[in-house]
Amino acid sequence: MIIMGIDPGTAITGYGVLENQSGKQNLVAYGTIMTPSDVEMPARLCHIHKQLKQVIDDFHPEEMAIEQLFFHRNNKTVITVAQSRGVLIMTAAAAGLTVAEYTPLQVKQAVVGYGKADKKQVQFMVQNILRLDGVLKPDDAADAVAIALCHAQSRRINAYR
């Protein structure tokens, strides 16, 4: 099973692709989709759609996990991220992927075992779980891989129900 994790954003969207097999996860790919701030929002959203579609075409995930929105102090940021998130979910659904959503608290709980873990703790656990030589960079891609790991763990737990 190939799982894609997404850390949604308008300027930077992180993605991580994992192979989940027999309770073990292997990192297949990770990266970012970036849009310039001087481009109009419709063009930015179209770019996000096209780039995610390319990632889906390249790696053929069966499921996508995406981080749910949490409230920011800046309402404008929430609205633009929500627009990006909608495009990401629509792109995955149009490709036939099952979509799961997780809060930042759920991701931290699944990866670290503590819902209030900081970013460094999450990155350290991602590195250890996937047996990587170093911490993944940039942060947006590392967060997306953590979201995919959360989904893999959730699938494993749900299989026992």
d(CA 26, CA 85): 25
Annotated active-site residue 140? The verdict is yes
Question: With the C-alpha atoms ordered 80, 69, 27, 93, is the resulting torsion angle positive or negative?
Answer: negative
Q: How far apart are CA 43 and CA 4, in angstroms?
A: 24
Catalytic one of 7, 19, 40, 139: 7
Specify the 3-state DSSP secondary structure of 111: helix
Choose, from 63, 67, 101, 133, the residue flagged as catalytic.
Answer: 67
CA 36/CA 71 separation, integer angstroms: 23
67 given a catalytic annotation: yes
In terms of DSSP H, where are the helices of 3-138? Answer: 41-59, 75-94, 104-111, 119-129
User: What phi and psi values does residue 141 have, to the nearest 5 degrees?
Assistant: -70, -40
Give Cβ neighbours of residue 36 (< 8 Å, ≥ 6 apart).
44
Catalytic residue among 38, 139, 140, 143: 140
Catalytic sites, residue numbers: 7, 67, 140
